[in-house]
Amino acid sequence: MRAFAVGVTTLTLALAACGGEPPVPEAEQTEIPEELRQAAPALGEGALAAEGLGTPMAERVATIGIVNKRNSLTREIEMKPGEARRIDDVVIRLSACEKTAPWEDPPETGAFVQVNVNARPDADSEAVWTRVFSGWLFKNSPGLNVVEHPIYDVWVKDCAMSFPGEEEALSAPSAAPRPRASAAPAEPEAAPTATPAPSPTSSQ
């Protein structure tokens, strides 16, 4: 793991020296430890999972971002509820994802995730898996819940799902716009002036 991180850092510095940008790395799934293979727990009364509205939970796809603060390596992973993915020393399990309908305001996207990190409690101990977060993460309100860890940061980026009538609502024509008032009021037309009738001339 350390050799991989050093190699990535070296490659990043080399590309930076050449004036190029390093390619965005793809998330690579590795083997999940046996002790973390248990089923995900129930979401509880506060869960937003509404099976009767929109795409069924099992068919939704969440996009989760993860960054290693030591080397600034950022990755994105796509997961369905019930899946778990391991990235280096982090295992992320997704239980659910939700988002508000397009016609609701304000918009919000959330995901219920569990984050487990493999690390040593101290210098004299072996590395153990520790759960550092379990709860909802919100895209538009990140301050409500955060993953507090000195090395890794995890956040939700999207929840791919649809709602009944979504296409009709988005394609419905908007109300006809009101005519814009002109910048200056039009000047009233001058009233026609009456032409006086010619006076009769006396015959000579």
Q: Are 129 and 118 in contact (CB under 8 A)?
A: yes
Reading the block at residue 30, the tokens are: 């590795």
Among 44-48, 54-58, 64-68, 184-188, whose mean pLDDT is lowest?
44-48
> What digits encode the pLDDT tens for the residues 67-92?
999 999 999 999 999 999 999 899 99
CB neighbour list of residue 65: distance below 8 Å, 6 or more residues apart:
74, 75, 76, 154, 155, 156, 157
* Mean pLDDT score of the chain: 74
Q: Which amino acid is at 102?
A: P
Please indicate, yes or no, if residue 89 is contained in any of the structural domains: yes
The three-state secondary structure class of 193 is coil
* Cα angle value 115/116/117 (rounded, 5°): 125
Please indicate, yes or no, if residue 7 is contained in any of the structural domains: no
User: What does pTM read for this prediction?
Assistant: 0.60
Please indicate, yes or no, if residue 172 is contained in any of the structural domains: no
Range of the domain at 83: 27-164
Reading the block at residue 58, the tokens are: 């099992």
Please indicate, yes or no, if residue 174 is contained in any of the structural domains: no
Please indicate, yes or no, if residue 32 is contained in any of the structural domains: yes
The count of domains in the chain is 1
Please indicate, yes or no, if residue 82 is contained in any of the structural domains: yes
